Copies of this chain bind each other. A is one copy, B any other.
Amino acid sequence: MSRKTMVRPGGRSARVQASVHAAVRELEAEAGREALTVPLVAARAGVTPSTIYRRWGDLQELLSDVAVERLRPETEPQDTGSLRSDLEAWAEQFLEEMSAPAGRAYIRDALLGDPDGSNAGQCSAYAAEQIGVILDRAAGREEKAPGVDTVLDRVVAPMMYRILFRPQGLDTAYARRLVAGLVGPAGR
């Protein structure tokens, strides 16, 4: 979140931030990520470039903020009746979204313009939150379940690693395999 946390809650600052974020999303869609520049975004947002430089520092930090927003999950994980199938469904969807070119770009943007690591931390927090919901549900069913950190280590981390470092040949079967290895047929 770099600097945007220190804007005044309502009023002009909030409007500027909203219009700048909107401008980034519009231009990303119209012209592509490569074509973005600070002056271009500023013009579309109806703002002077120096406003963006002063609030965000540079294009990367701005893109990082926008990327984190887009990575926020918008729905609760589905309830499919068991821990294993909940995790499978969630992991498959996660992998599908994140390994698509757009998803990878957002992850990279989120990581890159992020001097203090808070944006990256936010991404991980989103995943942890979703997994927490699934595990709580499992606890409610009296299923034996691992901890959130274990799921992050065994399911989320391997997917992220491959998305970032070895983006070839990823498919949803990989997500299922990871879940199976954790909460597998053997019950463990």
- Nearest 8 A/B pairs, CB to CB: A157-B161, A124-B165, A153-B158, A157-B158, A157-B157, A120-B165, A112-B112, A124-B166
Q: Are B111 and A166 in contact (CB under 8 A)?
A: no
A124, A154, A164, A178 interface centre (most CB from chain B within 10 Å): A164
Q: How large is the interface on A (under 10, 10 to 19, 20 to 34, 35 or more residues)?
A: 20 to 34
- Interface of A: prevailing SS: helix
Question: Copies per complex?
Answer: 2
Name 6 A/B residue pairs within 8 A (Cβ), A-sorted.
Answer: A112-B112, A120-B165, A123-B165, A153-B161, A157-B158, A160-B161
CB within 8 Å of B: which of A129-166?
A: 152-154, 156-158, 160-162, 164-166
